[in-house]
Amino acid sequence: MKAIALNATLKSGADRSTSSTGHMLGLIASELQRHKVECEVVALADHAIQPGVTSDEGEGDEWPMIRDKILAADILILGTPIWLGQPSSVCKRALERMDAFLAETDDQGRMVSYGRIAAVAVVGNEDGAHHVSAELYQALNDVGFTLAPNAVAYWVGEAMSATNFIDLPEPPQKVQSAIDVMVRNTLHLARLIATDPYPGRK
Amino acid sequence: MKAIALNATLKSGADRSTSSTGHMLGLIASELQRHKVECEVVALADHAIQPGVTSDEGEGDEWPMIRDKILAADILILGTPIWLGQPSSVCKRALERMDAFLAETDDQGRMVSYGRIAAVAVVGNEDGAHHVSAELYQALNDVGFTLAPNAVAYWVGEAMSATNFIDLPEPPQKVQSAIDVMVRNTLHLARLIATDPYPGRK
Amino acid sequence: MKAIALNATLKSGADRSTSSTGHMLGLIASELQRHKVECEVVALADHAIQPGVTSDEGEGDEWPMIRDKILAADILILGTPIWLGQPSSVCKRALERMDAFLAETDDQGRMVSYGRIAAVAVVGNEDGAHHVSAELYQALNDVGFTLAPNAVAYWVGEAMSATNFIDLPEPPQKVQSAIDVMVRNTLHLARLIATDPYPGRK
Amino acid sequence: MKAIALNATLKSGADRSTSSTGHMLGLIASELQRHKVECEVVALADHAIQPGVTSDEGEGDEWPMIRDKILAADILILGTPIWLGQPSSVCKRALERMDAFLAETDDQGRMVSYGRIAAVAVVGNEDGAHHVSAELYQALNDVGFTLAPNAVAYWVGEAMSATNFIDLPEPPQKVQSAIDVMVRNTLHLARLIATDPYPGRK
């Protein structure tokens, strides 16, 4: 059982140490670790991901390397900050590249992504987590991922607040509970599907 | 200059005194009053609004009376609670009934709703205000309303909180500021359009 | 294995024979039948479902009967028309009532809805299916449902068209394929989870 | 009176000649021209727009040049393709950069963007235009833009179609009508606001 987490923060390089999304993904990776599941975290903004909707947009495109990691894992955690109540452009870029899965099917019509379980992490100063999870659920489900119940861990502050999740003295208990539930359900489903994959068309 | 506010809380009758959405609309109505603009608040759940997409769904339908009030006003404030990160079913019902405006055009192609300015009030325990405003802006704009900048006043608590807006000791300063801006911009636009209406097609 | 389909059309009684959403749900029910799974279709607009977010809103409320049917089934198909690019008010009403599941947990923290698989049917004259599926996925996932990959069957016409799905000479092949995939994946997951339920917290 | 249109297609350079979004923006620019309003079209993917939420992300960032063009215009047309039912990552990137307007206010609290009218163009093979316009309306309204009624021109094909807008023999009459209405209303509002700007706080 292997997991990959994509951090869709706008921050790259050294700035990324201040990423609240990265902080949330770290908590999720720890919980996975507690269940003996390794989770690599990839910061998307550190990579040159070309605009496009194919799996390889040619010279200089680092998406193929990330795509390989996604397909080598059983579980995908997609983490994004909220800007203007919506997922980040970096997150949208990754989803666009996964659009290619729609045409990458086996001889029984199953996308290359089938059998993988997705979950979502959303962090913002204020408001937007439900909508962001809605958009990510739909896009990820469209491109072949399965969703266990309560597939999101999120934190946002009160309306029009400016506090960062990473600056809280410690994660609220409710956030830790949501992570526990998300990880437990996602792992359960990943194990079931690994043993007994989706059937193709006859 | 006249305004109407629709309260799309799920609560009816006596329960409605505990409506946080009603509390927000009261603050907005006061601000309008300060600008000498009368604002009637209609609680939708107190009325039998039939399912449908015409302006009159027949016997027992109280929408025609509400529709008359909307068309008699220059400004529409649509207020809704957030449930599951989304607008209430009562709010959706009112928008569906305004769908009829799409076909109610004058001989120059202008909907009967044209020239009216809309604004939005959104209240929840936690998360969802930006998405709710997005859905309301789009639906209201589709059926002929104009939107001044910053056309929303909202409040939500921290992620997974259970505090009600109406139970706060007083409205946060940022909420009052948002109301001030929303009312100021909306009134300015309503006055301009009242004097100089949208042109029709030649 | 048992399925229930909720038809959230605005049409009730005799009018419902013209429901395009009902037509889509009929195609899905047939495909389930082909897999030997019985699917009851309930037209929500034929029932008095009170506004609220509890499982029983008191006298005259017919939601408790529908809730019983949902909990007696392994699979929930939620079907809705599109109005103004969004799910119907009747659909939103049902989701609000399922909000109650959030607090209806066993001693291991699992909602009463856990272990059920949801899928979605969306029909409109034009545009809106992806957004509607996003909203339904998020709401259903929040209240405990699992989503198999490609959990939606939809049809919409070209931009600004007025053709109804039910009036097409026959369902497009692509729609039938989407139904096949949705049913196959959903059934597979329902069987896995029926045998091996989600674990609770220790 | 001056307009700027941003084309958020994923295509850059020579490929852009096949952009359906560019084709729609061309039709809108022609209609503006007919009203004697010049409209420059900027293809965002041809420019290095750094991730971030400030107005200048430093070396190599070409956003400041685009920002200048936006602020030099009275009207902003934001055009985006639909991918997975959602706006493009390139579109999201531009909105994130406009997030900076929230803090760029004059001594009366008015954002630097105030007084500008926005409209939206959305093009896809199938489904998603209403949701995309909802997200763009909300984001643009949040950062200070005004929206005239029916502020969107869109085209999408039937569910699961693959036809491109640019390959249609000619634009459907309904699309041209939507463009006419959008341009007429937007221009009217731009002229009113140019003469009589939004008041600031006292």
Over the stretch C6-60, which tens digit does the pLDDT of each residue have? 999 999 988 888 999 999 999 999 999 999 999 999 999 999 999 999 999 999 9
Show the DSSP H helices in A35-147 as ranges.
63-72, 89-98, 129-142
A171 reaches B (C-beta below 8 A): no
Q: How many domains does chain D have?
A: 1
Residue D95 Cα distances to B170, D67, D138, angstroms: 33, 11, 11
Average pLDDT over residues A16-24: 94
B202 domain-assigned: no
Identify the pLDDT of residue B54.
Answer: 97
Whole-number Å distance between alpha carbons of C63 and C46:
11
With a pLDDT cut of 90, the percent of chain B lying above it is 97
| Residue C160: per-residue pLDDT | 97
> Looking at residue B112, which CATH number applies to its domain?
3.40.50.360
User: Can you tell me the distance from the alpha carbon of B56 to that of B60, in angstroms, rounded to the nearest whole number?
Assistant: 10
| Identity of the residue in B84, B134, B154 whose CB atom sits nearest the CB atom of A159 | B154
Q: Is residue D127 part of a domain?
A: yes
- How much is the pLDDT for A199? 96
Please write the tens of the pLDDT for every residue from B130-159: 999 999 999 999 999 999 999 999 999 999
What is the pTM assigned to this prediction? Answer: 0.98
Chain C nearest C-alpha distance from A169 (Å): 26
Provide the token pair at D74: 């009275």
Nearest Cβ partner of C150 from A141, A148, A149? A141
Residues of B (126-155) whose Cβ lies below 8 Å from A = 126-131, 134, 154-155
Return the C-alpha torsion angle A79, A82, A88, A92, nearest 10.
60
On whether the CB atoms of residues C90 and C44 are closer than 8 A, the answer is yes
Chain D hits for A135, CB-CB cut-off 8 Å, are 86
D177 contacts: CB under 8 Å, gap ≥ 6: none
Structure tokens at C28: 């899905």
pLDDT score at B13:
86
Chain D neighbors of A45, CB-CB under 8 A: 51
* Nearest residue, CB atoms, A85 vs list D52, D87, D138: D138
Residue B202 has pLDDT above 70, yes or no: no
Is residue C181 a part of any domain in this protein? yes
Neighbours of A36 (CB within 10 A): 8
Asked whether the beta carbons of C82 and C172 are under 8 A apart, the reply is no
- Is the pLDDT at B201 greater than 90? The verdict is no
pLDDT tens string, chain D, 202 residues long: the values are 999 999 999 999 888 889 999 999 999 999 999 999 999 999 999 999 999 999 999 999 999 999 999 999 999 999 999 999 999 999 999 999 999 999 999 999 999 999 999 999 999 999 999 999 999 999 999 999 999 999 999 999 999 999 999 999 999 999 999 999 999 999 999 999 999 999 998 6
AA letter at C104: E
The reply to whether B39 falls in a domain is yes
Q: How far apart are the C-alpha atoms of C133 and D159, rounded to whole Å?
A: 14
Give the pLDDT confidence score for residue A31 in this predicted structure. Answer: 98
Residue-wise pLDDT for C152-184, tens only, equals 999 999 999 999 999 999 999 999 999 999 999
Q: Is residue D202 part of a domain?
A: no
Chain C environment of A184 (Cβ under 8 Å): 198-199, 201
What is the residue range of C89's domain? 2-195
Residue D60, Cβ neighbours under 10 Å: how many?
7
3-state percent breakdown (helix, strand, coil) of chain C, nearest 5 = 45, 25, 35
Q: How far is A23 from chain B (nearest CA, A)?
A: 16
The answer to whether residue C32 is domain-embedded is: yes
C89-98 vs B89-98: helix axis angle to the nearest 10? 180
In chain C, what residues touch B87 (CB-CB under 8 Å)?
92
Asked whether residue A200 is domain-assigned, the answer is no
Name the residue facing B159 among A84, A85, A156 (closest C-beta).
Answer: A156
Q: Does A139 reside within a domain?
A: yes
**Could B51 and C89 be called an inter-chain contact, meaning their C-beta atoms sit closer than 8 Å?**
yes
Spatial CB neighbours of A120, under 8 Å, sequence gap ≥ 6:
A77, A78, A79, A80, A132, A133, A136, A137, A140, A151, A152, A153, A154
**What element of type H or E holds C29?**
helix C20-34
pLDDT value of residue D202: 67
CA separation for the pair C95, C99 (Å, rounded):
6
Average pLDDT, chain C: 97
| CB pair distance less than 8 Å for B158 and A160 | no
